[in-house]
């Protein structure tokens, strides 16, 4: 049973790196495959700034999405025009009776 969740109103684009073969030297060849995933929730977590002869900003977000959305540490997520990297291993969370089942991941973007 799926309940409508007003917090899961975002649609994100997941970009998966898929191995498509090998080149003539035996190196893996990958292709980026995009897919839209509805029923997600994006929340800001933190932002840090380093000024070491240049300004670098690292911003982290929390993504909660539907169960089984297939995120990996190599996945990237685009939301509102910003491309985020998955930071660490995404988690698959289960709940009693499945009402709160979801995928959770931390995302980051580095600028500067």
Q: Determine how β-strand 82-86 pairs with β-strand 91-93.
A: unpaired
Cβ–Cβ < 8 Å for 14, 35: yes
Cβ–Cβ < 8 Å for 94, 102: no
| DSSP helix/strand/coil, 97 | helix
pLDDT of residue 2: 52
pLDDT of residue 7: 65
What are residue 98's phi and psi, to 5 degrees?
75, 5
Residue ranges with strand state E in 4-81: 10-22, 28-51, 55-65, 76-79
pLDDT of residue 1: 46
Question: Which residues of the chain have a pLDDT value below 70?
Answer: 1-7
For residue 101, the tally of other CB atoms under 10 A from its CB is 15
């Amino acid at each position: 049973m799926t309940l409508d969740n007003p917090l899961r109103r975002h649609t994100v684009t997941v970009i998966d790196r898929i191995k498509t073969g090998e080149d003539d030297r035996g190196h893996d060849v990958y292709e980026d495959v995009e897919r839209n995933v509805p029923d997600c929730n994006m929340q800001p977590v933190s932002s840090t700034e380093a000024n070491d002869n240049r300004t670098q900003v690292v911003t982290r977000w929390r993504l909660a999405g539907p169960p089984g959305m297939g995120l990996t540490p190599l996945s990237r997520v685009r939301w509102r025009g910003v491309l985020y990297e998955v930071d660490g291993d995404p988690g698959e969370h289960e709940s009693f009776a499945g009402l709160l089942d979801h995928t959770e991941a931390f995302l980051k973007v580095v600028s500067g």
